[in-house]
């Protein structure tokens, strides 16, 4: 099975071109094996680039623990890069089918290779039952959440997958590595949740680290950055356009007045290889 390793701001996945390759029956086990950073290729998960009846391609995304997720913002940018660079569809505007629906992406190539991608991530989901969470409010806004001996004030948003955003004075390992896993598995989130910890720098700038559902800390999370930008606006902490600094790089986010969230960031191909059958 041929594969390609790509990353978006350090959020790295193993990509398989299902236009060309066949897969084993147990995709969850394949995701766990290829993601292992000691005995596999090493990644935050596995993404399949598949044919679609309604878009240029379809993305299926599996976390490092083998669970399938609805959406990955950094991943979908890399799918667009692969689709363009490898000749599946060489257009300035691409459509990718995801668990969130069909997304529209603008690609910005240099010397025939895509470097940056702008994604219309759609409107955020703010109804608690659809996020989903049992916390009160549509959305839960500055809602108390008891975790690890702390009372967090959380704001919950879905970008097709669930996010729990906490604004802190300083993002550190204790927040991410100790509190993050407990937030992910808290009973208030029936499908688990991605936990974002945000430090506000200014009305136009923030710092983010994330504990991702099914993968642990990653260097970036596109949907998490979008959800955090929405949460920051809802809490009147930033303007509607913000630069988000993540350990793996920067993303530019805008919650447009029309309701859609736009994300712009890099997409990078690292190497190709062949995984033994």
Phi and psi at residue 174, in whole multiples of 5°?
-60, -45
Check for a shared fold between 2-117+265-274 and 128-259. Answer: yes
- 3-state secondary structure (DSSP) of residue 139: coil
Do residues 276 and 3 touch, judged by C-beta distance below 8 A?
no
Residue 23, classified by CB atoms within 10 Å of its CB into exposed (0-12), middle (13-18) or buried (19+), is middle
pLDDT tens for 111-126 read 999 999 999 999 999 9
**Whole-number Å distance between alpha carbons of 251 and 262:** 10
Whole-angstrom Cα Rg for the chain: 18
DSSP state of 186: -
Of 72, 78, 226, 244, the catalytic one is: 72
User: Could you tell me whether strands 268-274 and 261-266 are parallel, antiparallel, or unpaired per DSSP bridges?
Assistant: unpaired
- Among candidate residues 118, 54, 123, the one with its CA nearest the CA of residue 80: 118
DSSP string, 17-53: ETTT----S-HHHHHHHHH-TTTSS--SEEEEEE--S
Q: Is 244 a catalytic residue?
A: no
In this predicted structure, what is the pLDDT of residue 137?
97
Q: Average pLDDT by consecutive 10-residue portion of the chain (277 residues)?
A: 97 97 95 97 98 98 95 96 98 96 97 97 97 98 96 97 98 97 98 98 98 96 97 98 97 97 98 94
CA dihedral 67, 71, 73, 76 (to 10 degrees): 90
Q: What is the mean pLDDT of the chain?
A: 97
Q: Is 72 a catalytic residue?
A: yes
CATH 3.10.310.10 fits 2-117+265-274, yes or no: yes
Domain ranges of the chain: 2-117+265-274, 128-259
Of 78, 156, 164, 221, the catalytic one is: 221
Fold of the domain built from segment(s) 128-259? Diaminopimelate Epimerase; Chain A, domain 1 (3.10.310)
**What does pTM read for this prediction?**
0.92
**Whole-number Å distance between alpha carbons of 11 and 267:** 10
Neighbours of 238 (CB within 10 A): 24
Phi and psi at residue 81, in whole multiples of 5°?
-60, -45
In this predicted structure, what is the pLDDT of residue 277?
76
């Amino acid at each position: 099975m041929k594969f390609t390793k790509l990353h978006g701001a350090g959020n790295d996945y193993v990509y398989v071109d299902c236009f060309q390759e066949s897969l084993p029956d147990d995709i969850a086990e394949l995701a766990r094996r290829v993601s292992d950073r000691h005995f596999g290729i090493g990644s935050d998960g596995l993404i399949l680039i598949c044919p679609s009846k309604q878009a240029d391609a379809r993305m299926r995304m599996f976390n490092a623990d083998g669970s399938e997720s609805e959406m990955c913002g950094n991943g979908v940018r890399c799918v667009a890069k692969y689709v363009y660079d490898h000749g599946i569809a060489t257009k300035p505007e691409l459509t990718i089918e995801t668990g969130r629906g069909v997304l529209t992406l603008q690609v910005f190539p240099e010397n025939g290779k895509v470097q940056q991608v702008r994604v219309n991530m759609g409107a955020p989901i703010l109804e608690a039952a659809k996020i989903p969470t049992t916390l009160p409010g549509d959305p839960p806004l500055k809602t108390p959440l008891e975790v690890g001996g702390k009372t967090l004030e959380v704001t919950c948003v879905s970008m097709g997958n669930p996010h729990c955003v906490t604004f802190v004075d300083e993002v550190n390992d204790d927040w991410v590595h100790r509190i993050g896993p407990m937030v992910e598995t808290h009973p208030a989130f029936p499908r688990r949740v991605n936990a974002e910890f945000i430090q506000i720098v200014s009305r136009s700038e923030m710092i983010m680290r994330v504990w991702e559902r099914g993968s642990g800390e990653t260097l970036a999370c596109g949907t998490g950055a979008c959800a955090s930008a929405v949460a920051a606006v809802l809490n009147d902490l930033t303007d509607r356009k913000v630069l988000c600094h993540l350990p793996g790089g920067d993303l530019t986010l805008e919650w447009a007045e029309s309701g859609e969230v736009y994300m712009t960031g890099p997409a990078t191909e690292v190497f190709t290889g062949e995984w033994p059958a």
